[in-house]
Amino acid sequence: MSHSRGQVRAFRGAYVTYQGNPLADDQAFVYESDGLVVVSEGLIIAVGPATAELPDLPPSVPIQRLKSHQLMVAGFVDCHVHYPQTQIMGAYGEQLLDWLNQYTFVAEQQFAHPEHANKVAQFFLDECLRNGTTTASVFCTVHPQSVDAFFRAATARNMRMIAGKVLMDRHAPDALLDSAQRGYDESKALINQWHNKGRNAYAITPRFAPTSTPDQLAAAGALWQEQPDCLVQSHVAENPSEIDWALSLFPDCRNYLDIYDRFGLLGKRAIYGHGIWLSDAERMRCHETGTALAHCPTSNGFLGSGLFDAHKTQSGDHPVTIGLGTDVGAGTSFSMFQTLNEAYKVAQLNGHAMSSIQAFYLATLGGAKALGIEGQVGSLSVGKEADFLVLNMAATPLMRFRMQTVEDIEEALFVLMTLADDRAVEKVYVAGCLANQDLNAAKN
Ligand SMILES: [Zn+2]
């Protein structure tokens, strides 16, 4: 690399960023056609219109000038993804519960072997980077070595990553089961080893209520109370058969979300995948507790799970914080563009159009907020970590052709979320350092 981490550098060109949720604040969306982003020591130290920022920039600071078809945005945030499922993407024919048994639980057993875990973690993180995803909240497997391999690989790339060991003490193959006590002990040891070390954060990760006994969920809740700045991640209300099963296992609970509620697993920094079939009362409880949901449209379509209503969930008097998840390996793409593409179609099937302004919010600052890390990443703001992308809006012949008739930035963003993929991610900066140069060579 030609620059050191501490050197001040500036990037001049168009950018899009957010100062808040555009659903709640019509000033939240920011577009500068000629902007300046200044980074030093891995942080953003100045950002604004070039005309306003240039007078304060020491002449010695090198300025990279973007081209007219390039656009800077904050790095994408994937709020729900399973790295051990990378190799079962595109597994045919089943819905959730059969898909877990036939494909997932088979693939996850291989992560007892540290070399396998390491190999998949490396590939997964490189694929995230190639797609412009600089932060993700990641499920590992039941094996502590799967978490070690993941955080080791994330640390080598200096990416802000959240991950946790899956807790399962029933209804899975023996090789994938821990126990309430062992799951607690192993999670606690992993927290001591990895949480808040570098850019890593730990998420206490019960897979979902049906694969944990009440004792295990109680232990997970107790661990969160001891370590309240960790996250909690799990799944809820993805598929009707799953909901029936969960309620049959916890007959005293009023609804699916109530299972987690009773064990102290709702609150800020708790994020649940899917929530497609939550009732009004359950959404209200998410609102009251600050619990977030991860909308995973490519996965929901692939497994035939249903249509998450992002509009209803985020609007009204009791909005719920949501982010976007690829949910690889049930999800069909690492690309946040393609995830937005599918989110738009799901919104249409629910009777609403998701605006590109709202969509890119969810892919960046909204996702960071859902994970409780909006103070560190998610926007181009002074003091934030310099995780950002240079997008090529003319990356393919079709995109170049289509962009010729685009009238404003909102339309350009909408074309991006409809037509773009990893080819549009030209440069990825992680804590101010270019992180995708070798990966791009491998792409060609
Ligand atoms: Zn999932």
Q: Is residue 408 part of a domain?
A: yes
Regarding whether 429 and 336 lie in a shared domain, the answer is: no
CA of 273 to the centre of ligand 1 (A): 6
CA of 444 to the centre of ligand 1 (A): 31
Handedness of CA 249, 254, 257, 262 (dihedral sign): negative
CA of 87 to the centre of ligand 1 (A): 15
Report d(CA 63, CA 50) in Å as an integer.
Answer: 11
Q: Against a cut of 0.75, is the pTM above it?
A: yes
CA of 394 to the centre of ligand 1 (A): 33
**DSSP label at 104?**
I
Half-sphere exposure of 400 (CA within 13 A, CB side): 6
Last residue of a domain, one of 341, 370, 399: 370
| Residue 48 CA: distances (Å) to CA of 150, 360, 362 | 36, 19, 22
Contacts of 408 (CB under 8 A, 6+ apart): none
Regarding whether 24 and 97 lie in a shared domain, the answer is: no
CA of 351 to the centre of ligand 1 (A): 25
CA of 81 to the centre of ligand 1 (A): 6
Q: Is residue 97 part of a domain?
A: yes
- Assess contact for 273 and 306: CB atoms under 8 A: no
Report d(CA 396, CA 210) in Å as an integer.
Answer: 45
Mean model confidence pLDDT for the chain:
96
Q: Is residue 207 part of a domain?
A: yes
**DSSP label at 385?**
B
For residue 438, name the pLDDT band (cuts at 50, 70, 90).
confident
Regarding whether 166 and 31 lie in a shared domain, the answer is: no
CA of 327 to the centre of ligand 1 (A): 5
Regarding whether 238 and 326 lie in a shared domain, the answer is: yes
**Which ranges of 95-179 would DSSP assign to H, the alpha helix?**
96-99, 105-109, 114-130, 144-157
Rg (CA), the chain: 21
CA of 93 to the centre of ligand 1 (A): 17
CA of 235 to the centre of ligand 1 (A): 6
CA of 108 to the centre of ligand 1 (A): 13
Q: Is residue 22 part of a domain?
A: yes
Pair of tokens at residue 259: 């299972």
CA of 296 to the centre of ligand 1 (A): 8
Predicted confidence (pLDDT) per residue in 179-235, tens digit: 999 999 999 999 999 999 999 999 999 999 999 999 999 999 999 999 999 999 999
CA of 263 to the centre of ligand 1 (A): 20
pLDDT of residue 4: 55
Regarding whether 383 and 357 lie in a shared domain, the answer is: no
pLDDT at 126 over 50: yes
The number of angstroms, rounded, from the C-alpha of 381 to the middle of its chain's C-alpha atoms is 19
CA of 85 to the centre of ligand 1 (A): 10
Q: Is residue 334 part of a domain?
A: yes
CATH number for the domain harbouring residue 212: 3.20.20.140
CA of 405 to the centre of ligand 1 (A): 38
Domain containing residue 179: 76-370
CA of 193 to the centre of ligand 1 (A): 24
Regarding whether 214 and 237 lie in a shared domain, the answer is: yes
Regarding whether 422 and 314 lie in a shared domain, the answer is: no
Q: What is the 3-state secondary structure (H, E, C) of 118-131?
A: HHHHHHHHHHHHHC
Regarding whether 163 and 108 lie in a shared domain, the answer is: yes
Predicted confidence (pLDDT) per residue in 79-119, tens digit: 999 999 999 999 998 999 999 999 999 999 999 999 999 99
Last residue of a domain, one of 316, 349, 370: 370
Handedness of CA 233, 436, 88, 90 (dihedral sign): positive
Residues, Cβ < 5 Å to ion ligand 1:
273, 327
- Assess contact for 219 and 184: CB atoms under 8 A: yes
Q: Is residue 3 part of a domain?
A: no
> How would you classify the pairing of strands 425-430 and 433-434?
antiparallel
- Assess contact for 156 and 433: CB atoms under 8 A: no
CA of 153 to the centre of ligand 1 (A): 21
Nearest to 161 by CA among 200, 196, 197: 200
pLDDT of residue 1: 42
CA of 82 to the centre of ligand 1 (A): 6
CA of 164 to the centre of ligand 1 (A): 13
**Which ranges of 158-305 would DSSP assign to H, the alpha helix?**
180-194, 214-226, 240-249, 256-262, 280-289, 297-302
* Mean per-residue pLDDT, 365-386: 98
CA of 375 to the centre of ligand 1 (A): 25
Regarding whether 272 and 406 lie in a shared domain, the answer is: no
CA of 412 to the centre of ligand 1 (A): 31
CA of 392 to the centre of ligand 1 (A): 30
CA of 196 to the centre of ligand 1 (A): 24
> How would you classify the pairing of strands 388-392 and 70-74?
antiparallel
Q: In this predicted model, which residue has the larger pLDDT, 432 or 5?
A: 432
CA of 242 to the centre of ligand 1 (A): 13
Regarding whether 60 and 99 lie in a shared domain, the answer is: no
Report d(CA 47, CA 56) in Å as an integer.
Answer: 11
Q: What percent of the chain has pLDDT over 70?
A: 98
CB atoms inside a 10 Å sphere around CB 404:
7
Report d(CA 45, CA 382) in Å as an integer.
Answer: 5
Instruction: Work out the angle between the directed axes of helices 180-194 and 214-226 (0-180°, nearest 10).
Output: 30
Report d(CA 365, CA 354) in Å as an integer.
Answer: 16
CATH number for the domain harbouring residue 388: 2.30.40.10
Last residue of a domain, one of 370, 398, 424: 370
pLDDT of residue 439: 82
CA of 38 to the centre of ligand 1 (A): 37
Q: Which residues pair with 11 in a beta bridge?
A: 37, 64
Regarding whether 67 and 81 lie in a shared domain, the answer is: no
CA of 80 to the centre of ligand 1 (A): 6
Pair of tokens at residue 230: 């960790």
pLDDT of residue 440: 64
The number of angstroms, rounded, from the C-alpha of 406 to the middle of its chain's C-alpha atoms is 29
What total of structural domains would you count in the chain? Answer: 2
pLDDT at 333 over 90: yes
Nearest to 122 by CA among 174, 90, 86, 160: 86
- Assess contact for 238 and 293: CB atoms under 8 A: no
Regarding whether 321 and 182 lie in a shared domain, the answer is: yes
Q: Is residue 170 part of a domain?
A: yes
* Mean per-residue pLDDT, 307-316: 95
Type and span of the H or E element at 272: strand 270-274
Q: Is residue 85 part of a domain?
A: yes
What type of residue is 360?
F
CA of 386 to the centre of ligand 1 (A): 28
